Amino acid sequence: MRYRPELDLAIRNLSLSTRRFEKIGIVGRTGAGKSSLTYALMRMVEPASGYIRIDGVDISTVDLQDLRTQISVIPQDPVLFEGTIRDNLDPAHEYSDEQVWSAIHAGQLSHLLDTPTEVFVSEDIADEDTFDDDDLDDDFQKGPWIEGVGLNKWVDYGGSNFSIGQRQLISLCRALLWRRKIVILDEATASMDAKTDGIMQDVIRREFEECTVLTIAHRLNTVMDSDRIIVMDQGQVVEFDTPQNLLLNSASHFSQLVRSKAT
């Protein structure tokens, strides 16, 4: 896989397979090619040669939209849209309120939705002649400002009224709602404090038991309970084994990464 024809391969000589519902950690130094795996799986960049198969089907033969509806990505800096929490979790309004709340509770996000957010409504909209109370949900109050709580909690453009860690929890709840067969965490906890990181790891272990989970991480403790770990270097997989086996080999790349983080 290469990003432009004139560039060197970003990933090369890669051959591996994962088991059903396996939890895979992906580590390596900056520029090793970890995130390139995500781009390849999502077909954001097509392979220069070879193929990727999901459930035995070559993904190059699958409609792009159909492919991406099988994969949830929780990135380091999630994209949130201006609107309500509900709009962000379920943009197409495919799920019931009960299903959305179930995902919110599973992702331990409900405490963030208790505090009202104030949203300015322009005077022409708030005018009694043009503004119908029926247009408002029960959680809203009419006036020049509308206070939103619960599913109506307001999200500013880009999620600027939430911290990075909170935005990642919202992205996690989105993945919990969608329940896709593959979940990719691309440095999802890199900007989190240790407490929020721990919350996310607990949720992932509990709620994604029946998903294949790929966790790309700089924090090695994030992947220590993975079933197996991929170690990448210069676009190649140099090791692929259980964390226990990799740590037992003091000469392994993974052991060297662990020691370098400890110093």
Q: Domain boundaries in the chain?
A: 1-78+179-263, 81-161
Work out the angle at residue 188's Cα, subtended by the Cα atoms of residues 184 and 191, and round it to the nearest 5 degrees.
170
pTM: 0.81
Residue-level pLDDT at 69 = 92
Work out the angle at residue 24's Cα, subtended by the Cα atoms of residues 73 and 196, and round it to the nearest 5 degrees.
60
Contact 203, 191 (CB under 8 A): no
For the record, the structure tokens of 229 come out as 């770990």
- Compute the distance between CA of residue 158 and CA of residue 219 in angstroms, rounded to an integer: 25
Q: pLDDT tens digits, residue range 92-135?
A: 999 999 999 999 999 988 888 876 665 555 444 444 444 454 55
Residue-level pLDDT at 219 = 82
Contact 229, 27 (CB under 8 A): yes
Please provide the average confidence, as pLDDT, over all residues in the chain.
Answer: 85
- Compute the distance between CA of residue 149 and CA of residue 113 in angstroms, rounded to an integer: 6
Q: Does domain 1-78+179-263 have CATH number 3.40.50.300?
A: yes
Segments of the chain assigned E as strands: 23-27, 53-54, 57-58, 71-75, 83-84, 117-120, 145-148, 154-155, 182-186, 212-216, 228-233, 236-241
Query: Of 234 and 136, which is predicted with more confidence?
Result: 234
**What are residue 83's phi and psi, to 5 degrees?**
155, -160
Quick one: what percent of the chain has pLDDT higher than 90? 51
Task: Give the 3-state secondary structure of residue 71.
Answer: strand
Q: pLDDT tens digits, residue range 45-84?
A: 888 888 999 999 999 999 999 999 999 999 888 889 999 9
Q: pLDDT tens digits, residue range 151-208?
A: 999 999 999 999 888 898 899 999 999 999 999 999 887 777 777 778 888 899 899 9
Could you tell me the pLDDT band of residue 32, with boundaries at 50, 70 and 90? confident
Residue 119: beta bridge partners? 146
Q: pLDDT tens digits, residue range 208-227?
A: 999 999 999 888 888 999 99
**What are residue 63's phi and psi, to 5 degrees?**
-55, 135
